[in-house]
Chain A
Amino acid sequence: MFDFSLLTNWIHQALTSFMPEWLAVTAECVLIGLLLLTVYALLALFYIYYERKVCAAFQCRLGPDRVGPWGLLQSFADMFKMLIKELISLKYVDKFLFALAPYLVILASMLCFAVLPWGNGLQVIDFNIGIFFLIACSSIGVLGILLAGWSSANKFTLIGALRSGAQMVSYEISIGLSVVTMVVFAGSMSVGDIVSAQSDGWFIVKAHIPAIIAFLIYLVAGTAETNRGPFDLPEAESELTAGYHTEYSGIHFGFFYLAEYLNLFIVSGVATLLFFGGWMPLHIPGWEAFNSVMDYIPSVLWFIGKAIAISFIIIWFKWTFPRLRIDQLLSLEWKYLMPISLVNLVLMVLIVVYGIHL
Chain B
Amino acid sequence: MADIQERIATLYPDATFEAADITVVNIPDAQWHSLAKTLRDDPELRFDYLMTIVGMDWADSLGCIYYLNSTSTGAHISVKVTTNDRIKPMLHSVADLWAIAGIYEREVYDFFGIVFINNPDMRRLFLSIDWKGFPLRKDYDADENLNPVTTESERQSDFTDTWVEDENGKVVKKEVRVFGPEDFVVNIGPQHPATHGVLRFRTAVDGETIKKIDLYCGYIHRGVEKIAEQLTYPQTLHFMDRLDYFSAHPYHHCLCMTIEQAAGIEISRRAQVIRVLMDELSRIASHCLFIGTYCMDLGATTMLFYTLRVREQILDIMEKTCGARMTFNYECIGGVMQDLDPNFVADVHKLLEVLPANIKEYNKLFTGNVITENRLIGVGNLSREDAISWGVTGPSGRASGWACDIRKTDPYSIYSELDFEEVVRTEGDSMARFKVRMDEMVQSARIIEQLIDNIPEGEICVKVPKVLKLPKGHWCRFVEGCRGTFGTFIESDGTTSPYRLKIIPPCLPAAAVVDHITRGFKIADLITIGGSMDYIVPDIDR
Point out residues on A near B: beta carbons under 8 Å. Answer: 55, 58-61, 155-156, 159, 163, 229-230, 232-233, 236-239, 241, 319-328
Contacts and interface: CB of A to CB of B under 8 A. Distances in A.
Given A238-B296, A241-B192, A60 B371 contact: no
Interface in B454-485: none
Given A320-B302, A322-B369, A325-B375, 5 more contacts: A155-B184, A236-B524, A237-B299, A322-B295, A327-B208
15 contacts: A59-B305, A155-B187, A163-B208, A238-B299, A239-B194, A241-B192, A320-B365, A321-B371, A322-B300, A322-B366, A322-B369, A322-B371, A324-B374, A326-B208, A327-B522
A202 B466 CA distance: 84
Contacts of B522: 325-327
Given A238-B296, A241-B193, A159 B208 contact: yes
Given A230-B371, A322-B366, A239 B306 contact: no
Contacts of A321: 299-300, 369, 371
Contact of B309 (A60, A159, A320): A60
A233 B524 CA distance: 9
B361 to A, nearest CB: 11
Contacts of B441: none
Contact of B523 (A159, A319, A322): A159
B301 interface: yes
A163 B194 CA distance: 19
Contacts of B524: 233, 236, 239, 323, 325-326
Contacts of B306: 59-60
Interface in B490-525: 522-525
A328 B299 contact: no
A227 to B, nearest CB: 12
B193 A60 contact: no
B297 A238 contact: yes
Given A320-B365, A322-B372, A59 B301 contact: yes
Contacts of B192: 241
Interface in B193-215: 193-194, 205, 208
Contacts of B297: 238
Contact of A156 (B186, B208, B296): B186
A159 B369 contact: no
Interface string B286-321: 000000000111111110111001000000000000
Nearest to A156: B186
A237 B365 contact: no
Contacts of A238: 193-194, 296-299, 527
Contacts of A328: 371, 374-375
B295 to A, nearest CB: 7
Contacts of A232: 299
Name the 8 nearest CB pairs between A and B, nearest first: A323-B299, A322-B298, A238-B194, A322-B300, A59-B305, A238-B297, A325-B524, A322-B299
